[in-house]
Structure 1
Amino acid sequence: MTYPDVPFPGLPPEQEALFAAAAATYARYRPGLPDGAVHLLADILRDRSTPVLLDLGTGTGQVPLALRSAVPALAHIEAVDVSPQMLDQARDALVPVLGRCTLTLVHAVADVYAPLAPLPGEEVRAPDLVTCCRSYHWMDGPGVLAMADRVAAPDAAVAIMGDGSLWTHDADWTRALRELIQRYLGAERRAGTRRSYTEPRRSYEEDLADSAFNDVTEHLVPVTRTWAPQEVLGYLHTTSFAAPELFAERHQAFEDEALALLHAHAVDGCLVEEATFRVLLARRPEGAR
């Protein structure tokens, strides 16, 4: 099921439009979670009889899809996103593999999410794990963590995860690609059509330190990815810094140059990305649970 029919107040229209345009491409070109991160999250849920996952900024459902396979006992998935088109992609990916697991899709801004009240006779399904994968930077972080404190089980964990992007990755081919983007769009990193990217004023660790989930461990998972040049162009379509609409009528010219550049840097048709997938795993202190 999906609720509500109208999004919760506070949904930024430009943000929803950005993800709506990229939903199908996102499902095809965005990398999934590395195995090490999946195993880390699965271990949190493994000893629970009917575990519940709350995935915030679910996008195309990559986190619940990975955990559905890794945690056969997973009983319920609550997947939240600002984009109904992203939720459609998540539904298409998850429904065929649900089995006995139930799924609720929620069109909402993460910090104002609230679960549906249980029906008479139903027990409350408080999440055992709350995840934000490559999405926390779009959110009101302190608001999200306060919401998680309201809805999560006493011994729940919060996982904030991500691995940067091809803009931040430091390799010869990504530097050359970034310089080409800047030649077309200007030196500042774009964040959609109306603004430039600004670094967060606070780190994720600072947000967590000020929250109920201030018992934090960091886990670093090394990842090696190989990209074909055409896959990189597909990935760029999903980003806020190189989406097609940013280039307007110059987009085809940019793609022609980018493809030639990527082929020139490829070895045996492949471009290698050596990344680090970081997981901040946070819990309430023992005495506060």
Structure 2
Amino acid sequence: MIRPDDPANTTVSDDALFGLKAAGYARYRPGLPDAVVHLLAATQHGVPAPVLLDLGPGTGQVPRALLPVLLRLVHIDLVDVNASMLQAARAVLEPVRGACTVDAFTGAAHTFAPASPGRAPTLITCCRSFHWMARPEVLSMADRVAAPQAVVAIMGDGSLWTHEADWTAALRELIQSYLGADRRAGTRGTYTGPARTYQDDLADSRFSAVTEHHFPVARTWTPQDVIGYLRTTSFARPTLFADRHPEFEAAALDLLQDHAGGGALKEDAVFSVLLARRPGGAA
């Protein structure tokens, strides 16, 4: 079952979480597997003019991956509480969007309303971000704005904190030696275990017809890329360490280089996708 990796905060509404610059996020966060992109595109088979609503888009990975595959995409709505992320996403999409229009909405996902009533989303995506949102309220919003046959896709693959390998376990222990045993999360404190799964949320929503899809993903990391990735996370962002951050990064780099042994660090992940429709919607 898919469980959120972080507390379900009502909203994370400032730039303190990932910083004012999105370049590191774009560079170090893994993209979508090709199989996931084609699965999302296939949900729009028979839709003459697909409209994408991407919630928590970060630097635009989902629409950037979909545009070359879903050529009929006519409009994209990006929704994020982080203005710098939205700016970066729009910049990434501008050279490749063609005739597809793009709007950006700065605010909590559950407060979104389309700028144009004629652009009801036919695909709503939420990649590695649903755990930050007021989930039942987001699904209610989706029911209000979405087209009758719309598909909601909630997806993710955990993080290097949750991945189980010798090198990630050692890295977690190092982070905990600086920040304490409890995992840091968001801007509000530490991680607490979720009471509900995403499947529970969907079962209680109008989008209760759910199919699950799981894709194994093998990744390799250089020690330097892991350091860059950590800077973008809520559990190891630089501000948590204050003036000890340079010391932490030096220790982390030594640890990662020891585990890499002059080669690469391996991550065997599973990218999971929940495709949800209203009962009676197209399969």
Give TM class, smaller chain: over 0.9
The number of equivalent residue pairs is 274
- Per the TM alignment, residue 45 of structure 1 is displaced from its structure 2 partner at its CA by 1.6
Any runs of at least 4 consecutive aligned residues in structure 1 with deviations exceeding 6 A, and if so which?
A: none
* 1:200 equivalent in alignment to 2:194: yes
The more displaced of 15-24 and 147-156 is: 15-24
Letter in 2 for 1:70: V
Aligned to 2:5: none
Secondary structure of residue in 2 paired with 1:18:
coil
Secondary structure of residue in 2 paired with 1:160:
strand
Contact 1:20 1:86 in 2 (8 A): no
Letter in 1 for 2:207: F
Aligned to 1:218: 212
Secondary structure of residue in 2 paired with 1:250:
helix
Evaluate the alpha carbon distance shift between residue 270 and residue 213 of structure 1 in structure 2; reply closer, same or farther with a 3 A threshold: same
Secondary structure of residue in 1 paired with 2:170:
helix
For normalisation by structure 1, the TM-score amounts to 0.91
Aligned to 1:189: 183
Gapped runs of 5+ residues in structure 2?
1-9
Secondary structure of residue in 2 paired with 1:19:
coil
Evaluate the alpha carbon distance shift between residue 140 and residue 194 of structure 1 in structure 2; reply closer, same or farther with a 3 A threshold: closer
Aligned to 2:27: 28
For normalisation by structure 2, the TM-score amounts to 0.93
Higher relative contact order (CA 8 A, sep 6+): 2
C-alpha distance in structure 2 between counterparts of 1:201 and 1:84, whole Å: 30
Out of 166, 176, 179, the residue aligned to residue 172 of structure 1 is: 166
Structure 1 or 2: more helix by fraction: 1
Contact 2:202 2:208 in 1 (8 A): yes
C-alpha distance in structure 2 between counterparts of 1:54 and 1:108, whole Å: 14
The more displaced of 161-170 and 188-197 is: 188-197
- Report % sequence identity: 62
CA RMSD of aligned residues (A): 1.7
1:81-122 deviations in Å (ceiling 9; x for gaps): 00000001101100010101111111110011111145xxxx
Letter in 2 for 1:56: L
Gapped runs of 5+ residues in structure 1?
1-9, 119-123
* 1:250 equivalent in alignment to 2:249: no
Contact 1:20 1:84 in 2 (8 A): no
C-alpha distance in structure 1 between counterparts of 2:257 and 2:209, whole Å: 46
Out of 269, 281, 285, the residue aligned to residue 279 of structure 2 is: 285
- Per the TM alignment, residue 169 of structure 1 is displaced from its structure 2 partner at its CA by 0.1
* 1:113 equivalent in alignment to 2:112: yes
Out of 226, 233, 236, the residue aligned to residue 227 of structure 2 is: 233
Secondary structure of residue in 2 paired with 1:25:
helix
Aligned to 1:6: none
Secondary structure of residue in 2 paired with 1:155:
coil
C-alpha distance in structure 2 between counterparts of 1:239 and 1:223, whole Å: 20
- Per the TM alignment, residue 287 of structure 1 is displaced from its structure 2 partner at its CA by 7.2
